[in-house]
Amino acid sequence: MFFYYEIMATLKLLLRNKNRNSNIYVRYSIDRKTLLWRKSGFIIDAKNWDDAKEKSKLRDEDSRNLNTDLRNLKSALENAYNAGISSGIEFTGEWLQFQIDLFNNKIPVVAFDVLTTYIQKYIDEAPFKQNAKKQLGLSNGRVQNLKLFKNTIIRYETDVLKNRSILIKEIDLKFIEKYKMWLFGLGYSTNYVGKNIANIRTICLDASKNDIETSPQIKNIKGVSESKEPEDIVFLSEEEQEAIKNAPIIREALINARKWLLLGCLIGQRGGDLLNITSKNIKELGGVKIIELKQQKTGKLVAVPLLPEALKILEDGMPYKISLVHFNEYIKEVCKAAKISMPTKGRKKLKHNQPTIKGVFPKYEVLSSHVCRRSFCSNYYGRIPTTVLIGITGHGTERMFLNYIGKTTYDNAHQMLEYFSKLAPKPKKAEMEVIRNEVKQ
């Protein structure tokens, strides 16, 4: 009787000669029939090599660095092998050489097989890509999103893959699931995770069009998203805006940020559009002052009537320009001074360059530029026709608008009933006829 034992892949670093400058080789025994040899890219004096421990015998700094590189190389090759097993790729000498080159930052000619390299290619070609409006050129916001996505992928390669680069053809449903769980484990929001997955799908589909090998599972990749519950919608009520207006602040930067914040709550624009407004955007239409601007994200030209409260804010001129980063920082201080501190569900960063975490915090800590547009939508919903509000905010559909402020189509129907009930003629009061009973004599 014969028994078959499967031979596990074994990886070993060794020398093939006893020279002073001997190449350290990688020998990868994949199975009974496949034995791969390639130079590792590192050399050593043979007399200093410990064959059993696969490292230098010396303990000086250069030797310690060499030993660290060799350990990392072995780890990268083992990870590449495991990823290859799940993807069903063929293990050849070319495959081994490619992985060694990737580790040593010797990117081969066909560099676009590497995910991060192709992402950069996509970013570089942004001016020539078709955007959501079927026009040429991706928006600045979209490009920044792709750069952030690339940095997240690099972090995944560092933290999880021990610096091994991801190949586009390795991206399948199993990879997506591992990547998704890693993102959630770091505390990223569902929407951010969903955007990452959508970006992976976009990059892979574009690579496929350019004859880069991709997994057949790409088209089955589904994104994830979440909708906020009504109680999770963070906005500033008119009473809170009044408190902000009267907050005791003296620092010029905070006074300026307060002006932007209060104006933003009255014109309903995204932070980037708000902070780009200048006096040139203020025009007059039919005796009414308006702010006219082209929204960066949608490309829509919108005209926003300036309410009396907004005109009062602008009596002494426009606030001076600041960055979105500083605006987000300053309005937290402004709202803290205004005692906008009720416990509120939201997200905040505990440390710089770390993902946001979800929890219950003092309200001022969870505020950002989004609060301007959301406050406008929430405070004027039901007071201004929804179609007019959508025309100002630039939402694509009524459903998107209602979801943005945590409303439903039933809320909208109720609003319409209230509106029509005010238009309907009131029933006349029934006139009472007095009937006198005559007493018969």
Chain segment 131-170, per-residue pLDDT in tens: 766 777 888 878 888 999 999 999 998 888 888 889 999 9
Report which residue type is found at 109: V
Q: Within 13 Å, how many C-alpha atoms sit on residue 33's CB side?
A: 3
Question: What average pLDDT does the segment 49-72 reach?
Answer: 93
Q: Tell me the mean pLDDT in the region 66-76.
A: 93
Q: What percent of the chain has pLDDT over 70?
A: 83
pLDDT surpasses 50 at 416: no
Decide which of 125 and 431 is more confident.
125
Q: Report the mean per-residue pLDDT for the chain.
A: 82
The pLDDT value given to residue 418: 52
Q: Kindly state the DSSP code that residue 23 receives in the 8-state scheme.
A: E
The candidate with the shortest Cα–Cα distance to 295, out of 282, 276, 315, is: 276
Distance of alpha carbon 196 from alpha carbon 188, whole angstroms: 11
Distance separating alpha carbons of residues 321 and 335, to the nearest angstrom: 20
Q: What is the mean pLDDT of residues 202-214?
A: 89
* 248 in Cβ contact with 337 (< 8 Å): yes
Please report where in the chains the tokens 């559909």 appear, as a residue. 397
Establish how many alpha carbons lie within 13 A of residue 159's alpha carbon, considering only the half-sphere containing its beta carbon.
12
**For the chain, what's the residue count?**
441
Most confidently modeled range among 58-67, 215-224, 232-241: 58-67
Q: Which helix (H) or strand (E) holds 292?
A: strand 288-294
| pLDDT number for residue 87 | 59
pLDDT of residue 440: 46
What spatial distance separates the first Cα and last Cα of the chain, rounded to whole Å? 133
407 confidence band (pLDDT: 50, 70, 90): low
Q: Which residues contact 88 (CB under 8 A, 6 or more apart)?
A: none
Q: Which residues pair with 130 in a beta bridge?
A: 136
Backbone angles phi, psi at 183, to 5 degrees: -65, -45
Residue 180 pLDDT > 60: yes
Encode pLDDT of 320-351 as tens digits.
Answer: 999 988 999 999 999 999 999 999 888 777 66
H/E element holding 343?
strand 343-349
What pLDDT score does 88 carry?
67
Query: pLDDT of 242-296, one tens digit each?
Result: 999 999 999 999 999 999 999 999 998 988 899 999 999 999 888 889 899 888 8
Q: How much is the average pLDDT of 168-184?
A: 91
Query: How far is 190 from 184, CA to CA, in rounded Å?
Result: 8
Q: For residue 391, which amino acid is it?
A: G
Q: Which residue has the higher pLDDT, 219 or 432?
A: 219
Residue 226 has pLDDT above 60, yes or no: no
Burial class from Cβ neighbours inside 10 Å (0-12, 13-18, 19+) for residue 53 reads exposed
Least confident stretch, 29-38, 51-60, 63-72: 29-38
Q: Which residue has the higher pLDDT, 323 or 223?
A: 323
Q: What's the confidence (pLDDT) of residue 7?
A: 47
pTM score over 0.75: no
Q: What is the pLDDT of residue 111?
A: 62
> Rounded mean pLDDT of 178-200?
87
Question: In the chain, pLDDT over 90 holds for what percent of residues?
Answer: 37
The pLDDT of residue 417 is above 70: no
Residue 297 pLDDT > 90: no
| Cα 58 from Cα 239, distance rounded (Å) | 72
The DSSP secondary-structure symbol of 353 reads T
